[in-house]
Amino acid sequence: MKRLLAVILLIGTIGAIFANPIEMKLIGRIWFTEQNQPKLEFSPHMFYNGTADVIIYDGYDSYTYAVDFTADNPVIIDLPQAHLSREQGYLQATIVGYVTDSVSWGESIANGFSSLVGTQCATQLLVSGWESSYYLFAKDYSTESGSAFDTLARITINVHCSDQNGNPASNYPIMMMSMWPPLSYTDSNGNASFSFYCCKAMLSVRSLTSWDVVADTVFFAEPDQTYNIDFVVPSSAINDQFSQIPQGNFSIYPNVLRSHNSGVVNLSYDAKLDADSHIELYDIKGRLIESRVYTATNMQLQLPRLASGVYFLRLSSKGRLLGNSKLIVLK
């Protein structure tokens, strides 16, 4: 049963790799025993991959291990000679002519993860989004609490965005490692909240129109911690035509559009509208696709033919933003 599960997980991993081509990895998990001896668990990429000589380099010396990847998984080796500690270290694993993988850890933010504490382990995870994938090292409570494919430990991040005058900045996408889709969007009070892995967190706020980074931060996130982060969005990143007027609530239904919806969405705005009100459709890169006069508080909008993806509908009046809503198109 374990072997069957490993094969299924491996097939899923390979499928993700072909969908978003990424490099092969050798390092899976790193931790230390009660006797402070380092241990290395190899990546699931190596499951049933034959036998090979793995060269381990710790920044000082090299050691060669004959590893049988056909053995029962996971495949784990002890590194008693390596110059490694919970506080800091550098580990490079190489199969000559096939794959090289490395990571460093310690207090400096230049490292891949922070110092390990007690039974903590660091797991290299493949995080996949709609359009891209990336690797990160995530901390977990121990090797027993998670697996090579996921960790149990999480953090909570609370973000507040405001402009240079101290006003809440709403509808701003909050992204981690440039991963799409965004983890969250700021609400009308400029707030966003979400959970994530305990990793080297590279958090950014994106422009409403160009999707350029307008504010960002990098920090080591530790298990079970809550991080409250304030961002100030520079005035140059805010286009005056999208200045928010908090008069009413704008909503669309459905916000996930499928083929059976025939390209029709229902729009609603629960406040009085000026005669010069428009509904505008933008793509994910901030390019205007279509603009129409918004004729009623509630109306149906027939959209043009759209490819699968993420779009934004923005309701504006006399050049000022009244509401903004995300639309996902699935074909």
The verdict on 127 and 160 lying in the same domain is no
Could you tell me if residue 70 is inside a domain? yes
The verdict on 187 and 307 lying in the same domain is no
Task: State the CATH number of the domain containing residue 179.
Answer: 2.60.40.1120
Q: What is the pLDDT of residue 240?
A: 37
- Quick one: 107 exposed, middle or buried, by C-beta within 10 A (0-12, 13-18, 19+)? exposed
CB 269 within 8 A of CB 297: yes
Q: What is the pLDDT of residue 277?
A: 86
This prediction's pTM: 0.67
Task: State the CATH number of the domain containing residue 298.
Answer: 2.60.40.1220
Cα-to-chain-centroid distance, residue 261: 30
The verdict on 231 and 256 lying in the same domain is no
Could you tell me if residue 193 is inside a domain? yes
Question: How many domains does the chain contain in total?
Answer: 3
The verdict on 206 and 263 lying in the same domain is no
Measured over the CA atoms of residue 284, residue 286, residue 290 and residue 291, the dihedral's sign is positive
CA distances from 160 to 20, 232, 239, 280 (A): 32, 8, 19, 27
Q: What is the pLDDT of residue 114?
A: 98
Could you tell me if residue 80 is inside a domain? yes
Residues of the chain where predicted confidence (pLDDT) is lower than 70 = 1-22, 129-132, 235-247, 284-286, 319-320, 331
Q: What is the pLDDT of residue 189?
A: 92
Q: What is the pLDDT of residue 6?
A: 44
CA dihedral (300, 302, 306, 312) in degrees, to 10, reads: -40
Domain edge (last residue) among 198, 217, 238 = 238
Q: State how far the Cα of 106 lies from the Cα of 119, in Å rounded to an integer.
A: 16
Domain edge (last residue) among 140, 173, 193 = 140
Domain edge (last residue) among 216, 238, 260 = 238
The verdict on 219 and 272 lying in the same domain is no
The verdict on 246 and 233 lying in the same domain is no
The verdict on 97 and 161 lying in the same domain is no
Could you tell me if residue 320 is inside a domain? yes
Q: What is the pLDDT of residue 242?
A: 39
The verdict on 21 and 100 lying in the same domain is yes
Q: State how far the Cα of 37 lies from the Cα of 35, in Å rounded to an integer.
A: 6
The verdict on 22 and 95 lying in the same domain is yes
CB 260 within 8 A of CB 185: no
Range of the domain at 44: 2-140
Could you tell me if residue 148 is inside a domain? no
Q: State how far the Cα of 232 lies from the Cα of 329, in Å rounded to an integer.
A: 32
Could you tell me if residue 150 is inside a domain? no
Q: Which residues does 144 contact at the CB level (< 8 Å), separation at least 6?
A: none
Could you tell me if residue 204 is inside a domain? yes
Could you tell me if residue 146 is inside a domain? no
Q: What is the pLDDT of residue 223?
A: 97
Structure tokens at 317: 């009046």
The verdict on 98 and 12 lying in the same domain is yes
Q: What is the pLDDT of residue 62?
A: 97
The verdict on 47 and 159 lying in the same domain is no
Q: What is the pLDDT of residue 60?
A: 96
The verdict on 100 and 196 lying in the same domain is no
